[in-house]
Amino acid sequence: METDHFLTSESSFLSLVHHALSVQQTEDGYFQINRFTDGQREEASSHPLYKAMANTAAGACLRFKTHTPVQLDIKRINQSLLPRAEEHALDLAALYGRPLDLNESIDVVYQDGNVEYLPLKSGAIEIDAEQTVSIHLPLHHQVEVRLRGEVEPLDQKRSAFLMMGDSIIQGVGLHHPSQSLGAQLETLLDASFLNQGLAGKLISPRLVQELPLSQPLRGIIVGYGTNDWVVRENLAELRGEMFALLGRIRKFHPQTPVLVLTPLWRSDIQEKKRMGTFSEMQIALTQATRCFPKVSVADGLSLSLRDSYDDAFLHPDSKAVSFLAKGLARQLR
């Protein structure tokens, strides 16, 4: 291994990356894997939580066959998720109102189906020669990676979906990234899934921007609303924001089928928020879709496995995400 060199070409490294848009090499030779464009990350910089989560590689993985022993170095990047007093930003942690378990692993999945769930920490992962692997990167922690050894990239999927939404789309509630919604949908539909979920995010039309895609999208999943129900003042504002978001999707993806996933079950579903009831919120989201062609709706309540929540409140666990993925796959085929 001492005689091998780290991979230094951005294009060569990008060929190993699945479910992402780009990579950027840092001064110390590591690579940041990007699932958002620079413009989208700028749009997401309005809150420390959004900014930090936009820098994660949620849903992305490295896939390759090794021809020599390989060393993959992981560098964990720590970022603050809380706003400073002078920022006058929403205190999303206080709105959530309970502890959130963001513990997770880095998953090495071998061709024979064996999986290693490795602790998320800075350090080296070593893989033997003549192995075909997928390395799933963390869903809600930022890491940078570099690779030493001789590898062969694996082919990318021929069709791709875009997923937009909040923490449930990003993967909060899951502790193993190989069990994410995108990973399960990939298996069910034999397609790539670009995860652009952001924990805590409200419906944000300006986050819809032109993407550097090599081929037209097969479909787009939109999963917002549960945070809006808690934060926004009224149903008209909610409808207007979803209408604007779908309008921007049609601007950049005029013919792409869109599936709007209404919010999943949550334990406070019987409460009435400032904008109204949970049911009224779901109806308002559905109403906003009716002016757009090729936009369908998936009922989040019917796709919720209510006894399988990681926090007993809002975020489905791996069993519930598997149930959700199977339901969505039926509507996406």
pLDDT of residue 87: 67
pLDDT of residue 1: 44
- Angstrom distance (rounded) from CA 182 to CA 171: 9
Q: List average pLDDT for each run of 10 residues in the chain, which is 333 residues long.
A: 72 97 96 98 93 96 97 92 68 75 96 97 97 98 97 96 98 97 98 97 97 93 97 97 98 97 97 97 98 97 97 96 98 96
Q: Which residue has the tokens 């496995």?
A: 305
pLDDT of residue 293: 95
User: For residue 264, what are its two tokens?
Assistant: 């999943």
Alpha-carbon dihedral 302, 307, 311, 316, rounded to 10 degrees: -40
pLDDT of residue 82: 66
**Average pLDDT score, the chain:** 94
Q: Which residue has the tokens 């949970």?
A: 278
How many Cβ atoms sit within 10 Å of the Cβ of residue 287? 14
Alpha-carbon dihedral 180, 181, 184, 185, rounded to 10 degrees: -150
pLDDT of residue 100: 79
Angle 302-307-312 from CA coordinates, rounded to 5°: 110
3-state secondary structure the chain: CCCCCECCCHHHHHCCEECCCEEEECCCCCEEEECCCHHHHHHHHHCHHHHHHHCCCCCCEEEEEECCCEEEEEEEECCCCCCCHHHCCCCHHHHHCCCCCCCCEEEEEECCCCEEEEECCCEEEEECCCCEEEEECCCCCEEEEEEECCEEECCCCCCEEEEEECHHHHCCCCCCHHHCHHHHHHHHHCCEEEEEECCCCCCCHHHCCCCCCCCCCCEEEEECCHHHHHHCCCHHHHHHHHHHHHHHHHHHCCCCCEEEECCCCCCCCCCEECCEEHHHHHHHHHHHCCCCCCEEEECCCCCCCCCCECCCCCCECHHHHHHHHHHHHHHHC
How far does the chain reach from its first CA to its final CA, in angstroms? 45
Q: Which residue has the tokens 């994660």?
A: 56
User: For residue 126, what are its two tokens?
Assistant: 């070593």
pLDDT of residue 95: 75
pLDDT of residue 94: 75
Angle 12-176-169 from CA coordinates, rounded to 5°: 85
pLDDT of residue 80: 72
Question: What's the farthest any 2 CA atoms get from each other in the chain?
Answer: 65
pLDDT of residue 86: 63
pLDDT of residue 3: 40
pLDDT of residue 88: 63
- Quick: pLDDT tens for 88-111: 677 777 777 777 789 999 999 999
Distances (CA, A) of 333 to 156, 218, 255, 302, 326: 19, 10, 16, 18, 11
- Quick: pLDDT tens for 142-155: 999 999 999 999 99
pLDDT of residue 214: 82
pTM of the model: 0.95
